[in-house]
A = this chain, B = another copy of it.
């Protein structure tokens, strides 16, 4: 839309965000299609849906957290580079697998295998976030606010990946320990002033 030769024909930051928003909005919403209304009457058929429901609620929180973080991150972007576009697509691809792993967790009633698949599907976007943040940091704002933000986020990201990796062997003890690890990460990110930040004094 700009006549500036250096950016002509390149989608703006806002456009990449809008597309990502659309994809994330669809991911977060189509998961509810797995909550299939039972054909049979009776409350007992509703109760049987609880694993699917709990998995849905957990994944909704998880994808919601990614949406928030994605926007915070893009708030620091100043330029759309090829790297940004492609690493962003990789992140969206990673997130798009969550409806699958969520459905699997629900249909398998939080079995060990399903918990491992679920933790892996949480790990994938966590890892895909790293190069995306790198390219945005490299070309983005270098203000002290931005630097603190990137330091905190990198730290939170490492802690999250570590907890997911820890959850995998713990799932062999009990799947609920694995699910607990997923919940713990959601909790750490959810807090406005994360205890992880507090530990490092910024």
Contact = CB atoms under 8 A, between A and B. Distances in A.
Count of chain copies = 4
A75 B2 CA distance: 8
Do most interface residues of chain A lie in helix, strand or loop, or is the interface mixed? helix
A113 B42 contact: yes
Given A11-B72, A68-B11, A111-B41, A23 B29 contact: yes
Nearest to A77: B1
Interface stretch (A95-103, A124-132, A175-183): A95-103
B64 A89 contact: yes
Interface of A: 1, 3, 5, 8-11, 13-15, 17-19, 21-30, 32-39, 41-43, 46, 57, 60-61, 64, 67-68, 71-73, 75-76, 82, 85-86, 89, 92-93, 96-97, 99-101, 103-104, 106-108, 111, 113, 117, 141, 143-146, 149, 190, 192
